[in-house]
């Protein structure tokens, strides 16, 4: 700015208008630094004159930004930033709120020779040796307040020095005292919150026996005494321990030096310390109390132990040994109730009787408890039906006896309206509904049917022992008809019909094992649940296989994502002027049995909410295949790569960084295709644009078949427009399509947009689009997609050369 005379050192600090270009240029970088560092403020003050010659009231050009809560998430619109000082033109330009004490310039006052910005500037200004600017940097030892503001802060400032040694201002950062309080967790020093942290400076020798400190910031209980002492403190050393007296109490201090300045810096004599302080009595009170308590406990334990040991050894050793032996014998003989002989000592005999009584009671209780546990294990507490475990145990035993099963059927049912009853009348009525259902199933099922509550509102029934399947089907039909007459009473006195949906699988026709029958019955039941409801449906193998295929597709989709089971074919994109290959489009080729079409993959990704995974897989895998072919010499070295992208999805910062690291050589050749059939998401589109930067480019795919041609063209701002195959097909005989293409070319050419005719399949179509002036060509007429791209069709190349020759002849002939 000095070179092009935008600024002048003579008038730089004269007024805000003279310094405005520099302040406007510096403000964005200051804001970026404020965002990236854990600081509460940043400032730039311009001055080229000796402060000793300044008069009170002089106004210095300044930008002073402040963030009251650096730990909070930053606002996108900078609503959490305040301007403390800045020219009004800068305030209007950046649209940042001003603080209550805002001023357009910083006012210098007499007596401020030690203020946060004067000392670093004046020291550099007066130093004839002119060290580097960083050597003059200084942290203020005294908190300061901006004019009109009540918040105290400390600051680090260093002068701004030109190569010729001219000092033209000060740049620095600020930390509010209130913010530093949150970063000095004084309550960690002592559990009863009796500690303090001090941030102090000293010019004393740290190896001496006395330290004179000036306290800059503090947290904890020392605030009031230190304020009374005017923030001055003297530490003394005793037995390698620092201490001082405060209000008649000895305080223990631990210091840690903070190295802020280099050894030869002008302010290296100001040593900064972090001091942790805890009162001596508070520090050692816990250990002293514990020492006394432990001593007393040891003495008491020893006294009681010796006394008890003496009594037991003297009077009870033999009878106790006898009882112990008889108890051991009973355990070895596995007697539930032991038998003891009398010892003649009343207390021991009472103990033996109590043991016998307790053992008897325990034995009876254990038997009752075992019976209770078995019942709870085998029967559902609410309905009294078999539990899940009991059902499968009983049925498992039956399936080991095919002669007993003969013709059998497994029916799985699910109540249709239990959730409505629970939500409308409460869970108590829902429980009544379940008990009535269980009663109806028991009452209307043939004798011997195994009935169980599986879980929630699901029930299982095993019918077995039938001579024919028709007889079994008749009983199931009768159960369905009788069950339809069952109802449960509602709170209003009305009856609610019990409705259930169910599925039936046949033994041995559908399966020979219980697990498979359950799976088939479950499938048949959920077919009913998702269609008509309220009926019993038999298992159908054809429908099951169709459903299984859909599940296999979803499983293969997960495998495709997890194992990256996709390759890419490449189709050449050819110059319409000379027929050379300009680029290749990467076309997805899934490598799994149920997933062969990219359209199927995209449909599943949309249904399963996995569009991001496809976007990431496409970008990484397409570029890997491109680089492998390029390394093998099977692609033109200068050719671009067109990769399809989902308009509404963009990679995360972390994944994009990984892509740039892995494919930095391919990034300048990457063209991202945005399909016009997809609804645009401008926020994600801008993220893609920011990621690609200047080397990358957009291509608008399938132009002419999407939501809005004009809007998409303006939104994407592509470098390439690929005209959809629906427009190109038959264009040699369709005047409307020709007009559409002409309008697009007329729009694109003056804006530097390349028009690409996609899906050119005949030589007639090729000739027509060449005559109309498209820039690029793609289609089966020129070359088909292939794992290893093939050469351009000779006939197509001849047409390109012929049309280009005709254009040259017309240009030579003139108008």
Can you give the CATH number for the domain in which 693 is found? 3.20.20.450
| pLDDT value of position 578 | 92
- Assess whether 59 and 203 both reside in one domain: no
Place of tokens 């290749």: 584
Tokens read off for 213: 């400190």
Does 643 fall in a domain? yes
Which residue, 272, 270, 269, 267, is CA-closest to 131?
267
Strands (DSSP E) contained in 264-323 are 271-279
Tokens read off for 322: 């006898």
| pLDDT value of position 329 | 76
Angle CA 335–340–342, to nearest 5: 175
| pLDDT value of position 294 | 82
Does 25 fall in a domain? yes
- Assess whether 348 and 404 both reside in one domain: no
- Assess whether 477 and 514 both reside in one domain: yes
- Assess whether 625 and 680 both reside in one domain: yes
Q: Which of 376, 392, 409 delimits the end of a domain?
A: 376
Place of tokens 């559990």: 191
- Assess whether 357 and 234 both reside in one domain: no
How far apart, in whole angstroms, are the C-alpha atoms of residue 530 and residue 524? 10
Can you give the CATH number for the domain in which 506 is found? 3.30.70.270
Does 89 fall in a domain? yes
| pLDDT value of position 308 | 67
Coil/strand/helix, residue 487: strand
CA atoms within 13 A on the CB side of 86: 29
- Assess whether 608 and 667 both reside in one domain: yes
Output the 3-class SS for 290-311: HHHHHHHHHHHHHHHHHHHHHH
- Assess whether 723 and 663 both reside in one domain: yes
Does 206 fall in a domain? yes
Q: Which of 112, 146, 179 delimits the end of a domain?
A: 179
Which residues of the chain fall below pLDDT 50? 677, 694-695, 708
- Assess whether 659 and 764 both reside in one domain: yes
Q: Is residue 695 exposed (0-12), middle (13-18) or buried (19+ Cβ within 10 Å)?
A: exposed
Tokens read off for 620: 């990484």
- Assess whether 113 and 208 both reside in one domain: no
500 near 416, Cβ under 8 Å? yes
Q: Which residues contact 782 (CB under 8 A, 6 or more apart)?
A: 572, 574, 760, 766, 792, 793, 796
Q: At what angle do helices 682-692 and 709-716 cross, to 10 degrees?
A: 40
Question: If you compute the radius of gyration of the chain from its CA atoms, what whole number of angstroms results?
Answer: 44
How far apart, in whole angstroms, are the C-alpha atoms of residue 658 and residue 641? 19
Does 152 fall in a domain? yes
- Assess whether 517 and 402 both reside in one domain: yes
Structural domain containing residue 124: 16-179
Does 6 fall in a domain? no
Q: What domain count does the chain have?
A: 5
Does 681 fall in a domain? yes
- Assess whether 170 and 189 both reside in one domain: no
Q: What is the pTM of this model?
A: 0.42
How far apart, in whole angstroms, are the C-alpha atoms of residue 327 and residue 333? 10
Q: Which of 351, 376, 401 delimits the end of a domain?
A: 376
- Assess whether 649 and 734 both reside in one domain: yes
Does 311 fall in a domain? no
DSSP assignment of 115-180 equals STTHHHHHHHHH-SS---GGGG-EE-SS-B--TT----EEEEEEEEE-TTS-EEEEEEEEEEHHHH
176 near 157, Cβ under 8 Å? no
How far apart, in whole angstroms, are the C-alpha atoms of residue 37 and residue 43? 14
């Amino acid at each position: 700015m000095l070179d092009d005379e935008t600024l002048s050192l003579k008038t730089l600090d004269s007024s805000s208008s003279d310094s405005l270009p520099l302040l406007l240029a510096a403000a964005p970088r200051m804001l970026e630094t404020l965002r990236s560092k854990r600081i509460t403020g940043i400032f730039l003050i311009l001055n080229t004159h000796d402060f000793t010659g300044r008069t009170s009231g002089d106004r210095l050009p300044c930008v002073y930004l402040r963030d009251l809560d650096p730990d909070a998430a930053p606002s996108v619109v900078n609503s959490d930033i305040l301007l403390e000082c800045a020219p009004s033109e800068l305030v209007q330009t950046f649209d940042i709120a001003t603080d209550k004490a805002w001023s357009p310039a910083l006012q210098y006052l007499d007596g401020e020779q030690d203020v946060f910005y004067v000392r670093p500037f004046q020291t550099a200004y007066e130093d004839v040796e002119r060290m580097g600017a960083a050597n003059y940097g200084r942290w203020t030892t005294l908190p300061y307040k901006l004019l009109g503001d009540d918040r105290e802060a400390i600051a680090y400032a260093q002068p701004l020095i030109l190569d010729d040694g001219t000092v033209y201002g000060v740049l620095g950062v600020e930390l509010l005292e209130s913010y530093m309080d949150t970063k000095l967790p004084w309550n960690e020093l002592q559990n009863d919150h009796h500690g303090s942290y001090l941030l102090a400076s000293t010019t004393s020798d740290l190896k001496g026996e006395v330290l004179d400190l000036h306290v800059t910031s503090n947290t904890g209980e020392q605030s009031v005494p230190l304020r009374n002492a005017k923030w001055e403190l003297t530490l003394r050393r005793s037995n390698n321990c620092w201490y001082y007296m405060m209000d008649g109490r000895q305080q223990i201090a631990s210091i840690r030096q903070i190295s802020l300045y280099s050894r030869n810096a002008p302010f290296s004599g100001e040593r900064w310390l972090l001091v942790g302080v805890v009162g001596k009595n508070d520090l050692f009170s816990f250990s002293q109390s514990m020492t006394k308590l432990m001593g007393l406990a040891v003495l008491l334990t020893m006294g009681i132990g010796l006394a008890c040991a003496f009594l037991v050894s003297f009077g009870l050793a033999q009878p106790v040994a006898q009882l112990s032996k008889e108890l051991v014998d009973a355990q070895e003989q596995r007697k539930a109730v032991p038998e003891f002989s009398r010892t003649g000592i009343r207390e021991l005999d009472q103990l033996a009787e109590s043991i016998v009584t307790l053992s008897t009671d325990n034995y009876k209780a254990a038997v009752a408890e075992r019976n209770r546990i078995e019942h709870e294990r085998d029967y559902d507490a609410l309905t009294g039906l078999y539990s899940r475990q009991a059902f499968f145990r009983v049925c498992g035993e039956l399936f080991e006896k095919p002669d007993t099963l003969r013709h059998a059927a497994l029916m799985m049912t699910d109540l249709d309206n239990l959730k409505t009853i629970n939500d409308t009348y409460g869970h108590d009525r829902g429980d009544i509904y379940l008990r009535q259902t269980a009663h109806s199933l028991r009452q209307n099922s043939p004798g011997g049917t195994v009935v169980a509550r599986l879980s929630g509102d699901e029930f299982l029934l095993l019918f077995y022992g039938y001579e024919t399947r028709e007889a079994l089907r008749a009983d199931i039909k009768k159960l369905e008809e009788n069950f339809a007459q069952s109802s449960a009473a509602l709170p209003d006195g009305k009856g609610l019909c019990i409705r259930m949906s169910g599925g039936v699988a046949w033994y041995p026709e559908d399966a020979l094992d219980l697990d498979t029958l359950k799976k088939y019955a479950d499938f048949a039941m959920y077919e009913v649940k998702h269609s008509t409801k309220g009926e019993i449906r038999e298992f159908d193998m054809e429908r099951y296989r169709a459903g299984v295929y859909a599940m296999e597709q979803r499983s293969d989709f997960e495998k495709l994502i997890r194992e990256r089971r996709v390759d890419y074919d490449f189709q050449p994109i050819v110059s319409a002027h000379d027929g050379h290959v300009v680029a290749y489009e990467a076309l997805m080729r899934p490598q799994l049995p149920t997933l062969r079409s990219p359209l199927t993959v995209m449909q599943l990704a949309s249904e399963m909410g996995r569009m991001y995974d496809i976007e990431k897989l496409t970008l990484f895998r397409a570029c890997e295949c491109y680089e492998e072919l390029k390394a093998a010499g099977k692609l033109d070295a200068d050719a671009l790569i067109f990769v399809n992208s989902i308009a509404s999805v963009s990679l995360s910062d972390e994944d994009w960084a990984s892509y740039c690291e892995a494919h930095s050589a391919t990034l300048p050749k990457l063209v991202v295709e945005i399909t016009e059939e997809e609804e645009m998401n401008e926020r994600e589109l801008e993220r893609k644009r920011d990621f690609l930067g200047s080397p990358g480019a957009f291509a608008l795919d399938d132009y002419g078949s999407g939501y809005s041609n004009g809007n998409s063209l303006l939104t994407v701002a592509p470098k390439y427009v690929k005209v959809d195959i629906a427009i190109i097909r038959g264009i040699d005989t369709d005047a409307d399509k020709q007009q559409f293409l002409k309008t697009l070319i007329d729009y694109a050419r003056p804006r530097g947009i390349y028009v690409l005719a996609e899906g050119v399949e005949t030589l007639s179509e090729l000739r027509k689009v060449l005559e109309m002036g498209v820039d690029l060509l793609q289609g089966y007429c020129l070359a088909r997609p292939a794992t290893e791209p093939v050469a351009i069709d000779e006939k197509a190349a001849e047409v390109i050369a012929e049309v280009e020759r005709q254009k040259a002849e017309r240009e030579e002939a003139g108008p």
